Amino acid sequence: MSDLFASYEAALAYLTESTDYERMRRVRYNSDTFDLKRIEALAGAVGRPDRRFRSIHVAGTKGKGSTTAMIESALRAGGYRTGMYTSPHLHTFRERIRRDGAPIPEADVVRLVERLRPVLAVRPEVTVFEIITAMAMLYMSEEPVDFGVFEVGLGGRLDATNILEPEVAVITSISLDHTKILGDTLEAIAGEKAGIIKRGVPVVSAPQWPAALEVIEAKAADLGAPLTLVGGDWRWRALGADLTGQCLAIYRAGHERAPEYERLEIPLLGAHQLENAATAVAALEVLREGGLALDREAIRRGLAEVSWPGRLEILSPKPLVVVDGAHNPYSMERLLEAVRAHLRYGRLLLVFGAGVTHPPVDLLRVLFPAADAAFMVHSQHAKATPVEDLVADAGGLGQAARPAGTVAEGLRAALAEARPEDLVLVTGSLFVVAEAREAWAALRGLPPPPTDPPDVY
């Protein structure tokens, strides 16, 4: 190992020297900017690791991370060696690449960056996300894994993960998101998501708005890809919930009285998570129909054991402290629906911070009618919106909001005002949620989550 990558911190610093669309405020989404030829060449230079394991590919606007985690957890419960690739991360870069549920070790990050460095030296145009995607594929091929479950980073058609030849493609709920990049209609966005459909490869779709579903159905038909519809071919019904999670039954159309899955438990709250669970089960059933040895008891265990923090996560019951990474108007509406359905509280004290991907005023417009007080915060992320801008947005809506500084400062301010029966809700972006979880651990004397050196990614 060279001196250049003698440390994990140095390896991460090297990664960020490449073009990083995650941290850019404006990105042109076209085949010049997002070019699959780059990742194809990069993967080819290291022996096409994406061809050395079976894969599942998951795209969508909302729920793709949760669905990815559920599929991976069920496969692992069934005895398969698994890899999982998701983005962004909460606390540490290593969360993005997992084997058998565990984040990639720091030493392997260093090793893989060192392995790729000579290849990258002659490919300066390769982006950070493309490099990380290649690292994930290399890691899963070398360990090795039986299945790699990959979440799309952005869109689908031009995403670096789309060089996969999966066993099944999954498209979760599609809504208007990243409209300045992917298009400003459901049809346009669905076209990008449906770009992961491959000829003859089964595809599973969550329930969609008619305009989006029409695009998916047309693409699947054009490519001869068998299409399974959740909400049609597979359906679900809620069986109750408490603060620890919820239960549901899942059944094929016409089997409502004799469900294939009479009772499943998931440790995640919100009606949207029931939909995600049904979508994950439908994808696993496609694999089973294709000959995969995976019994339904393993699927039941996998869903019961899934971990996906930072999504309607309850940190404390009194007062209720909840963190959720909702970051667009649609997800904010779903968050408030879930809060009202599952939680009982007096006042709602909002701790809010946002990035620049979506206009914060659009998020605040959804949140303010439910909030009794609002604390505006600024995370350490490069895309974080300044507190003074958030306060100005609130004022433009005729609402008073308090500038509260950092996420930790805002959380402490809300807790100081909260009564035992109140709800402190931290939301606006996943990076705000990460800092809130870290601050909560510090306040309560809990072990801190694994984190990275500051200012390296």
User: What does 187-219 look like in DSSP terms, one character per residue?
Assistant: HHHHHHHGGG--TT--EEE----HHHHHHHHHH
- CA dihedral for 388, 389, 392, 393, sign (positive or negative): negative
Of 312, 357, 316, 355, nearest to 332 (Cα)?
312
pLDDT of residue 179: 47
pLDDT of residue 24: 44
Residue 89: CB atoms within 10 Å:
17
Identify any residues that bridge with 102 across adjacent strands, giving them in sequence order: 99
In this prediction the pTM is 0.92
Tokens standing for residue 22: 């995650």
CB 385 within 8 A of CB 350: no
pLDDT of residue 457: 67
Regions of the chain with pLDDT less than 70: 1-5, 19-34, 177-183, 457
Tokens standing for residue 143: 């360990």
Average pLDDT, the chain: 93
Q: Report the alpha-carbon angle 363-430-5, nearest 5.
A: 145
pLDDT of residue 17: 83
pLDDT of residue 122: 93
pLDDT of residue 25: 45
Domains annotated for the chain, with CATH where assigned, are 3-305 (3.40.1190.10), 313-444 (3.90.190.20)
pLDDT of residue 304: 98
294-343 confidence digits (pLDDT tens): 999 999 999 999 999 999 999 999 999 999 999 888 889 999 999 999 99
377-417 confidence digits (pLDDT tens): 999 888 899 999 999 999 999 999 999 999 999 999 999 99
pLDDT of residue 177: 60
pLDDT of residue 133: 98
Q: Where are the alpha helices (DSSP H) in 143-270?
A: 179-182, 186-193, 210-222
